[in-house]
Amino acid sequence: MNVVVFGAGGRAGQAVTAEARERGHRVTAVVRDPARHGHLAADGVDVVPGDVTDAARVAAVVRGHDAAVHAVSPFRGPEQGFADLDPDFFVKAADALTGALSTAALSTAAVPRLLVVGLFANLVGADGRPVMDDPAAFPAQIRPFALAHTAGLDRLREQRTDVDWLMLTPPARLAYDGPRTGRYLVGGETVPPESAHLSYADLAVAVVDEIETPRHHRTRISVFNL
């Protein structure tokens, strides 16, 4: 299969790129500046420039691909601050991706597949509120980023599109250097048990599994291990 990964230079994007390549898929790795990500280049991987909010560029890149992965984050952590954070970033990305994939579908019989990496902050806690609404569980200074991410999820849910999208949301304990076990559990809209954890490698396994064998459609799921 031909898979395009937006945000291939980030932790989730790198993991998905590696997992897809290992399974024999051809990957187009989209990053803002290819010169900074030469390490991604390999057999079966093409590194190209692109901005996931640029509708024209997204449309050009997704053409000829079987699935797209959105693993882009404009926010690296609290130390970055919010002066440059676009609150509509994830909404623009959702519009660009679904619009491009819908157009691409006109020339094929396949329903385009879009996989989006989600955010723990908008899962629902035991009190019925999103995690980001509980200051004891989620840092208030990161709330603007969580709101922006949630707006992107809301946009996917409200769109009338033929794109077969799915958001996969990891738990709060997401380990960059954790092992690839090849196993994971799937939940719904609520926060998984307190012992839940996941490696980026196993998040990538879940993403590529859903590309190869779609099981969840036009919804958001949580993905974790115990």
Q: CATH homologous superfamily for 2-224?
A: NAD(P)-binding Rossmann-like Domain (3.40.50.720)
Cα gap 62→59, rounded to integer Å: 6
**According to the model, what pLDDT value does residue 136 have?**
86
Give yes or no for residue 77 having a pLDDT over 90: no
The whole-chain average pLDDT of the chain stands at: 93
**According to the model, what pLDDT value does residue 141 have?**
84
Nearest to 146 by CA among 127, 158, 133: 133
Instruction: Kindly indicate the confidence band of residue 103, based on its pLDDT and cuts at 50, 70 and 90.
Output: confident
Give yes or no for residue 75 having a pLDDT over 80: no
**According to the model, what pLDDT value does residue 110 have?**
60
Question: What confidence tens digit (pLDDT) does each residue in 166-195 have?
Answer: 999 999 999 999 999 999 999 999 999 999
CA 174: distance to chain centroid?
14
SS (H, E, C) the chain: CEEEEECCCCHHHHHHHHHHHHCCCEEEEEECCHHHCHHHCECCEEEEECCCCCHHHHHHHHCCCCEEEECCCCCCCHHHCCCCCCCCHHHHHHHHHHHHHHHHHCCCCCCCEEEEECCHHHCECCCCCEHHHCCCCCCHHHHHHHHHHHHHHHHHHHCCCCCEEEEEECCCCEECCCCCCCCCEEECCECCCCCCEEEHHHHHHHHHHHHHCCCCCCEEEEEEEC
The position carrying tokens 């849910």 is 157
The residues pairing with 219 across neighbouring beta strands, listed in sequence order, are: 166
Nearest to 37 by CA among 9, 76, 57, 78: 9
Cα gap 69→58, rounded to integer Å: 12
Question: What confidence tens digit (pLDDT) does each residue in 111-125 have?
Answer: 689 999 999 999 999
Domain boundaries, the chain: 2-224
pTM of the entire structure? 0.95
- Mean local confidence (pLDDT), 35-41: 93
Give yes or no for residue 196 having a pLDDT over 70: yes
Q: Residue 81: which residues within 8 A CB-CB, separation 6 or more? A: none
Q: Residue 198: which residues within 8 A CB-CB, separation 6 or more? A: 170, 171, 173, 174, 175, 178, 184, 223, 224, 225
